[in-house]
Amino acid sequence: MKILVLNSGSSTQKSALFDLDPTPSSEPTPLLWEGKLEWDGDKETLTLKNADGNKFNAEAVVQAKDRRSSLEKMLQKLWQPPTQTIRNGSEIAVVGHRIVHGGPHLCQPTIITSEVKQAIADVSAIAPLHNKAGLQGIEIAEKLFPGKPQVAVFDTGFHRTLPPHAAVYPGPYEWFEHGIRRYGFHGISHEYCGHRAARMLGREISSLKIISCHLGNGCSLAAIDAGKSVDTTMGFTPLEGIMMGTRGGSVDPGILLQLMRADHTSVDQLDETLNRRSGLLGISGVSSDMRDVVKAAGNGNERAKLAFDIFVHRLQTGIAAMAASLGGVDAIAFTAGIGENSAEVRRATCAKLGFLGAQIDEGKNALAKPDVEISTSKSAVRVLVIRAQEDWSIARECAELTRTM
Ligand code: AMP
């Protein structure tokens, strides 16, 4: 069955096509087609990829009047040159959507109905950038693939097992009663990473304590005990936790009070500062991309070096916190853009994790091509590098959910 996945972000709209058996295996299947729209201010870029991995930059194709029309045009490229992969939209069996925030009630993958759409819209107040983009994707898919089942998979869902002491903020109890609690994100990636790590180690996941480190544009850690999330670094929104590309992660909330009182900073300005002007970009002043930061640090840029050092420090303390929540750790898995590709980040991070029993092989780390183990044979904690497979995981959930329909 051909399953189309829409992965809507605040500044990207990715889409991927898979062909899966109704009872899919645990191993990812290759992409048949991929489309990626990126927005940087007024600039819009479309990249298309076919099953052979050939890339096409199709900037001139879009430049439509708004993001909605651009997404529609991108999806039509499924049956148009130069990346025609299907005859027409009717070949799509199911459309799966990554929905970032499921709020208190939406946890399990679910068939999208008008009630589900309303529930996603209700949560938009908490995650406005992401959930609105998700809803837009759903509406366009309804138009292009009428009558086909659509499935929502929630990034918060995997963390539904957080115990109350990890989920409830130590503010007034009424916060919790009003849905202000720690939800956690990147759940689709963390869940896949945990299961993949168990398969790589040849162990049952029920016997393992795993720390999954999702380090991409957004970064978060998950403590996975016997396959269940028991702690994570992101919270009510994807702003909490470790340092990221343009988000700083946790900062003293007193800073925000100070900025509002002394500088009369508005809510929108704070939002912009916390979401777009902090993290690697905010400290280095160079870029939110770890590659640029490492390069600038290597060229002697002091602020870029500081940004790298803070990133690693926060990552180390985050990993230690997750290990404490688990009461020990069998494996640490690095995934997503930085986790998969930055040998520098992995080396610097693991340099201080000897107290947990983690020791990496410098040579294996430097040459790591996921999925691969980079720990030494003596290391008490196995250290793994795993390719993120969010889109395939969503496609798999779609196959599972619609098999019996
Ligand atoms: P993702 O959100 O998973 O696509 O990850 C995006 C981030 O991965 C980028 O912002 C980069 O900082 C980072 N990244 C990608 N490739 C590399 C690399 N070769 N070395 C270091 N960081 C990388």
Average pLDDT on 178-197 reads 96
Residue nearest to atom 20 of ligand 1 (CA): 342
Q: Side chain identity at 222, as an amino acid letter?
A: A
Using CB distances shorter than 6 Å, the residues near ligand 1 are: 216-217, 245, 289-291, 336-338, 341-342, 388
* Residue 155 is a catalytic residue: yes
Q: Among 289, 293, 349, say which to mutate for ligand 1: greatest number of ligand atoms within 8 Å of CB.
A: 289
- Please tell me the least confidently modeled range out of 62-76, 96-110, 334-348, 367-381: 62-76
Residue 211: its pLDDT value, please? 99
What ligand 1 atom has the least distance to the C-alpha of 245? 10
Q: Which tens digits make up the pLDDT trace of 230-260?
A: 999 999 999 999 999 999 999 999 999 999 9
Residue 9: its pLDDT value, please? 76
Q: How confident is the model at residue 60 (pLDDT cuts 50, 70, 90)?
A: very low
Contact 138, 168 (CB under 8 A): no
Cα(202) to ligand 1 centroid in Å equals 29
Q: Which of 155, 225, 231, 330 is catalytic?
A: 155
pLDDT: is 24 or 269 the higher one? 269
Residue nearest to atom 17 of ligand 1 (CA): 341
Q: Which residues contact 377 (CB under 8 A, 6 or more apart)?
A: none
Q: Which tens digits make up the pLDDT trace of 112-145?
A: 999 999 999 998 877 766 788 899 999 999 999 9
| Distance from C-alpha of 181 to C-alpha of 103, rounded to nearest angstrom | 10
Q: Which tens digits make up the pLDDT trace of 316-358?
A: 999 999 999 999 999 999 999 999 999 999 999 999 999 999 9
Cα(216) to ligand 1 centroid in Å equals 6
Residue nearest to atom 11 of ligand 1 (CA): 289
Which domains can be identified in the chain, with CATH numbers?
Answer: 2-154 (3.30.420.40), 203-385 (3.30.420.40)
Q: Which tens digits make up the pLDDT trace of 203-218?
A: 999 999 999 999 999 9
Q: How confident is the model at residue 54 (pLDDT cuts 50, 70, 90)?
A: confident
Residue among 31, 47, 29 at smallest CA distance from 39: 47
Cα(351) to ligand 1 centroid in Å equals 21
For residue 82, say if its preceding peptide bond is cis, omega within 30 degrees of 0. Answer: yes
- Determine if the pTM surpasses 0.75: yes
Q: How confident is the model at residue 65 (pLDDT cuts 50, 70, 90)?
A: low
Q: How confident is the model at residue 52 (pLDDT cuts 50, 70, 90)?
A: confident
Q: Which residues contact 44 (CB under 8 A, 6 or more apart)?
A: 37, 38, 59, 62, 63, 70
Q: Which tens digits make up the pLDDT trace of 275-285?
A: 999 999 999 99
Cα(61) to ligand 1 centroid in Å equals 26
| Distance from C-alpha of 320 to C-alpha of 314, rounded to nearest angstrom | 10
Q: Among 40, 290, 369, say which to mutate for ligand 1: greatest number of ligand atoms within 8 Å of CB.
A: 290
Residue 144: its pLDDT value, please? 96
The pair of three-digit structure tokens given for residue 252, joined into one six-digit string: 């003293």
Cα(336) to ligand 1 centroid in Å equals 7
The pair of three-digit structure tokens given for residue 43, joined into one six-digit string: 């600039």
3-state SS record for the chain: CEEEEEEECCCEEEEEEEECCCCCCCCCCCCCEEEEEEEECCEEEEEEEECCCCEEECHHHCCCCCHHHHHHHHHHHHHCCCCCCCCCHHHEEEEEEEECCCCCCCCCCEECCHHHHHHHHHHCCCCHHHHHHHHHHHHHHHHHCCCCCEEEEECCHHHHHCCHHHHCCCCCHHHHHCCCCCCCCCHHHHHHHHHHHHHHHCCCHHHCEEEEEEECCCEEEEEEECCEEEEECCCCCCCCCCCCCCCCCCCCHHHHHHHHHHCCCCHHHHHHHHHHCCHHHHHHCCCCCHHHHHHHHHCCCHHHHHHHHHHHHHHHHHHHHHHHHHCCCCEEEEEHHHHHHCHHHHHHHHCCCHHHCECECHHHHHHCCCCEECECCCCCEEEEEECCCHHHHHHHHHHHHHCCC
| Angle ∠(131,135,138) on CA atoms, nearest 5 | 140
| Distance from C-alpha of 251 to C-alpha of 238, rounded to nearest angstrom | 13
Average pLDDT on 99-108 reads 92
What ligand 1 atom has the least distance to the C-alpha of 218? 2
Q: Chain centroid to CA 342: how far?
A: 17
Q: Chain centroid to CA 322: how far?
A: 18
Q: Which residues contact 365 (CB under 8 A, 6 or more apart)?
A: 343, 346, 347, 350, 374
Percentage of residues in the chain having pLDDT higher than 90: 81
